[in-house]
Amino acid sequence: MLDFFTIFSKGGLVLWCFQGVSDSCTGPVNALIRSVLLQERGGNNSFTHEALTLKYKLDNQFELVFVVGFQKILTLTYVDKLIDDVHRLFRDKYRTEIQQQSALSLLNGTFDFQNDFLRLLREAEESSKIRAPTTMKKFEDSEKAKKPVRSMIETRGEKPKEKAKNSKKNKGAKKESSDGPLVTSKAVPAEKSGLLVGPENGVELSKEELIRRKREEFIQKHGRGMEKSSKSMKSDAPKEKGKKAPRVWALGGCANKEVLDYSTPTTNGAPEVAPPEDINLIRGTGPGGQLQDLDCSSSEDEGATQNSTKPSATKGTLGGMFGMLKGLVGSKSLSRADMESVLDKMRDHLIAKNVAADIAVQLCESVANKLEGKVMGTFSTVTSTVKQALQESLVQILQPQRRVDMLRDIMDAQRHQRPYVVTFCGVNGVGKSTNLAKISFWLLENGFSVLIAACDTFRAGAVEQLRTHTRRLSALHPPENHGGRTMVQLFEKGYGKDAAGIAMEAIAFARNQGFDVVLVDTAGRMQDNAPLMTALAKLITVNTPDLVLFVGEALVGNEAVDQLVKFNRALADHSMAQTPRLIDGIVLTKFDTIDDKVGAAISMTYITSKPIVFVGTGQTYCDLRSLNAKAVVAALMKA
């Protein structure tokens, strides 16, 4: 039983709707438009919203969308056939009204399609009932039963005969080989056993063979010793050349502390203070308070494009004109066959740019669904049309539904007199602590006080790393410059403690001390580690942070999809809340190491529908950028 079937234009005008139940279809259809059609995720023609499954079909020629909804617990085999039949009949019946392509004509048009739809629905249901359930094939119906017994015996008897022939041939070969060469093969064990070689032992050898064998024995006895001595001579020679001077030790076997002490001297045990030149080196040269847009182009690329355009101008105008006219398609509607070769090249290009393979396939499928049946312009080629559609889809994917504005949210939390809590999570070694320090510096430059919670109680040196960052950030923003107010502080409880408890105490401490932001650093964990993922879900559920950021590398390809999917699944499975808290945004690190292979940004955004909030581009505190979707897509489409 169908819940609803609706037909509407891509402009948002509902032309006709069938309601099978009393519930409204507005919510599911709006969710489909918001999550699939507007986000360019049309690779799959099915969408699940709460308890409903929605299937849809696009008519790109007339700019129509056909949507059917039914309960997802049902298995309706006739839905695809029903959509095709309704699409064909509705388009043919109201072709003149739709071709006028004006909103007023569509509003004034009367689309009396109820009786036709009910007839098509009844035919589709009856056709599904007519199909008898598949039964197991009997032996009498198989091809093996049709063969006569004689043919089966003949085919079976051929193999043993061939084996017998082969075995006879092998035996004959063994007999032939056992005539002459056996004498020489038996002569070797006779020599090895210590028997004298000669006519008295029944073994006759020529003088040349005796000389050759004695020579081999001499080489075997004395050759190994000569090789060892030559190797030892070669290995000793370089040691004498690069001989290291021995360290001078004091009498009694005690080492001289002055000789072994390579650390910088401290006065009266005072904590280390970074010198000004080190602080400037750590800080970087860019503006810290304002995030700059990510720039994926380089001077080498610009020079290469200039050099490539110079020889093209010297080509003949006649050949260039014919080359331009060669790919024109004229005013025709695109089909799958026309786009297949171009889409295959685009898919391989995306995979080469580090886009996950499954996502590259879905992107190309979405572009094909978007362009299939669309009428081309007179002076347009298939390649340019597909490329432009893919670029638009990629830009739309990198600009997801929700935009994270941390500064606005922090100011809103200040009005409610509570700290704004951000939790960082991710796998091992992606740069969570380093980028947490960069974000801390960015917040300090914007005038917000930061409390760093050291909740990585597992990795050795994690607390010391955050302590070093806190000391350097305090040197960049001392309390004297802020009216005696401590702008950054580290909250730590050591190692081996419960991370969720430390985060709870840090949030309470920040509320009492008046800190604006709490940045929670967590331990790195693999997505398959169930105990650590349970601990992370507990930390997020208990403390309810305002923002959960997943920190991922820009170097990964297919692994990005696996990490994000399993992190979200683990947070949903191990959460104790009714509505589990999932990842809210992404921090993409090590972006300066990938050149133009920026596909990880597409993979992460496509799989989660979450925005990339920050991009790490270096090792200083100022190396933090905001994502520029057009620059990333330009680098991705660059040949």
Residues 6+ apart with CB under 8 A from 125: 78
Query: For residues 440 and 624, what is the distance between their CA atoms, to the nearest angstrom?
Result: 11
Confidence check: pLDDT of 225 > 70:
no
The answer to whether residue 518 scores a pLDDT higher than 90 is: yes
Lowest-pLDDT range, 103-117, 232-246, 451-465, 514-528? 232-246
Residue 472's pLDDT is what?
A: 92
Please report the pLDDT score of residue 271 as a whole number.
Answer: 42
Q: Residue 434, by phi and psi: left (phi above 0), alpha (psi -120 to 50) or beta?
A: alpha
Positive or negative torsion for Cα 196, 200, 202, 208: positive
pLDDT over 60 (residue 314)? no
Give the CATH number of domain 4-130: 3.30.450.60
Q: With b meaning 16 or more CB within 10 Å and e meaning fewer, what string describes 317-335?
A: eeeeeeeeeeeebeeeebe
Q: What is the pLDDT of residues 110-139, one digit of tens each?
A: 778 888 889 998 888 888 776 656 677 777
Nearest-Å Rg of the Cα atoms of the chain is 38
H helical segments located in 497-598: 499-513, 530-543, 558-573
d(CA 605, CA 376): 31
**Would you place residue 471 in the very low, low, confident or very high pLDDT band (cuts 50, 70, 90)?**
very high
Confidence category of residue 305, pLDDT binned at 50, 70, 90: very low
Closest CA to 281 of 592, 615, 621, 617: 621
On the 0-12 / 13-18 / 19+ scale of CB atoms within 10 A, 205 is middle
Note the pLDDT of residue 204. 61
Positive/negative CA dihedral, 286, 288, 289, 292: positive
Residue 199 has pLDDT above 80, yes or no: no
CA dist., res. 188 & res. 13, Å (int): 97
Q: Is the pLDDT of residue 449 over 90?
A: yes
The residues near 555 (Cβ < 8 Å, ≥ 6 apart) are 590, 593, 594, 600
449 neighbors 481 (Cβ within 8 angstroms): no
- Quick check: 404 pLDDT over 50? yes
Q: What confidence tens digit (pLDDT) does each residue in 21-35 have?
A: 877 788 888 888 888
> Where exactly are the structural domains of the chain?
4-130, 335-398, 406-631
Residue 100 pLDDT: 67
Average pLDDT taken over every residue of the chain: 77
pLDDT tens track for 530-585: 888 888 989 998 999 999 999 998 888 778 888 888 888 888 888 777 788 889 99
Class of residue 471 by CB neighbours under 10 A (exposed 0-12, middle 13-18, buried 19+): middle
pLDDT at 196 over 90: no
pLDDT given at position 415: 93
Q: What angle do CA 440, 446, 452 make, to 5 degrees?
A: 25
Q: Kindly tell me if the per-residue pLDDT of 387 is higher than 80.
A: yes
Indicate whether 260 pLDDT > 60.
Answer: no
What average pLDDT does this structure show over 397-405? 80
Of the segments 220-229, 290-299, 482-491, 525-534, which one has the largest average pLDDT value? 482-491
Q: Rounded to 5 degrees, what angle do the CA atoms 472, 477, 482 make?
A: 155
Task: Calculate what percentage of the chain has a pLDDT beyond 70.
Answer: 70
Q: Summarize pLDDT for 161-170 with one digit per residue, the tens.
A: 444 444 444 4
Question: What span, in angstroms and rounded, lies between the C-alpha atoms of 195 and 217?
Answer: 15
How far, in Å, CA of 523 to CA of 499, rounded? 9
End-to-end CA distance of the chain: 50
Which of the listed CATH numbers 3.90.1150.10, 3.40.50.11030, 3.40.50.300, 3.40.50.1000 matches domain 406-631? Answer: 3.40.50.300
